[in-house]
């Protein structure tokens, strides 16, 4: 089978597409014929060598969609549509950047859909992250105000749609004024051009601050986002679009407002249910939710896809279709 193998830590060119043996099925694991997968920013960090415990060479990919090739437990029939997500996939064991992927049974989620594979490939990790961040970490409620820091990302665009559907007022940010209209078309009530410090701009719109902040840029803007919340407001850091894991200085009793709350969302497969995934896919089929897919690459183009994401060219989800 063909696989995109990260041969060592480094730049995108360390990923080489080559023929490798198809994985041998073992008890408790399922062999999936991969049809598509989404690219995720965490995979860029893994490729660079910044993910603890990862050994190279490694077939990366923390998610995939496809059909069951072989399930020795007979839990799923051959040909069943499935998604696989997280659970150390693509880090501690080979992941979705291949024509076939062998994964633990517990991270497999069945579904049925007539959507094209490139659309389905954009869903698992994106939906799990957005749903978990909004509902489990931020516990959003109708009538609240939500700031999405990094609004033009695939996570940010979907978060806006789901928040609006739940009755929130949404402020989305972008560094590029040319993307303002796309955020408005996606449902944002207000758009702020982000220069790294937006607290003053935000408080012109909401003098008391917002109830909730979904921080997708990460440590670069986290302190400023904390200054955007209202009394007892909450910031959830979910993303690392700013490409920085750590902060040079952080003073909890100075940087977190009194009675303010800071949390993170680092979702796992256990945070996603089969029922929620199917319901979400059904909503996409009905046209209730619009996925923001920026570009689709082939398996042979995975190094190019990594470079595309690293250059911050993506305006939505980057997908690889096999």
pLDDT at 77: 97
Report in angstroms the alpha-carbon separations of 227 from 8, 210, 305: 40, 10, 35
Structural domains in the chain? 2-123+291-321 (3.90.180.10), 128-264 (3.40.50.720)
- Could you tell me if 269 and 105 are in contact, meaning their C-beta atoms sit under 8 angstroms apart? no
Mean pLDDT of 157-179: 94
Q: Assess whether pLDDT exceeds 90 at residue 243.
A: no
pLDDT one-digit tens code per residue, 180-213: 999 999 999 999 999 999 999 999 999 999 999 9
Rounded Cα distance, 99 and 92, in Å: 19
Give the largest Cα separation in the chain, rounded. Answer: 60
Q: Assess whether pLDDT exceeds 80 at residue 93.
A: yes
pLDDT at 203: 97
Give bridge partners of residue 81 from the DSSP assignment. 67
Q: Assess whether pLDDT exceeds 90 at residue 315.
A: no
pLDDT at 31: 98
- Could you tell me if 41 and 312 are in contact, meaning their C-beta atoms sit under 8 angstroms apart? no
pLDDT at 201: 97
pLDDT grade, residue 161 (50/70/90)? very high
């Amino acid at each position: 089978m063909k696989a995109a193998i990260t041969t060592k830590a480094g730049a995108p060119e360390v990923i080489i597409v080559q023929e490798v043996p198809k994985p041998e099925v073992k008890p408790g694991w399922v062999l999936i014929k991969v049809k598509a997968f989404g690219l995720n920013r965490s995979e860029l960090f893994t490729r660079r060598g910044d993910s603890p415990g990862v050994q190279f060479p490694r077939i990366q990919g923390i998610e995939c969609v496809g059909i069951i090739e072989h399930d020795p437990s007979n839990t799923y029939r051959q040909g069943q549509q499935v998604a696989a997500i997280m659970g150390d996939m693509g880090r501690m064991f080979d992941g979705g950047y291949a024509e076939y992927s062998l994964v633990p049974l517990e991270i497999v989620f069945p579904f049925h859909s007539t959507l094209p594979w490139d659309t389905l490939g954009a869903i698992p990790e994106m939906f799990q992250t957005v749903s978990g961040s909004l509902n489990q970490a931020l516990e959003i409620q109708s009538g609240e105000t939500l700031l999405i820091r990094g609004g033009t990302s695939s996570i940010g665009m979907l978060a806006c749609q789901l928040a609006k559907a739940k009755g929130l007022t949404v402020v989305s940010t972008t560094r590029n004024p040319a993307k303002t209209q796309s955020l408005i078309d996606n449902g944002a009530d207000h758009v702020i051009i982000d220069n790294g410090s937006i607290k003053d701009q935000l408080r012109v719109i909401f003098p008391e601050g917002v109830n909730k902040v979904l921080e997708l840029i990460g440590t670069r803007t986290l302190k400023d986002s904390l200054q955007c919340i209202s009394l007892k407001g909450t910031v959830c850091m979910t993303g690392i679009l700013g490409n920085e894991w750590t902060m040079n200085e952080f003073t909890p009793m100075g940087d977190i407002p009194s009675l303010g709350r800071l949390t993170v969302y680092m979702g796992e497969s256990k945070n996603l249910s089969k029922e929620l995934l199917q319901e979400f896919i059904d909503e996409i089929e009905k046209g209730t939710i619009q996925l923001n897919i920026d570009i689709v690459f082939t398996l042979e183009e995975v190094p190019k896809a990594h470079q595309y994401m690293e250059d911050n060219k993506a305006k939505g989800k980057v997908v690889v279709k096999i």
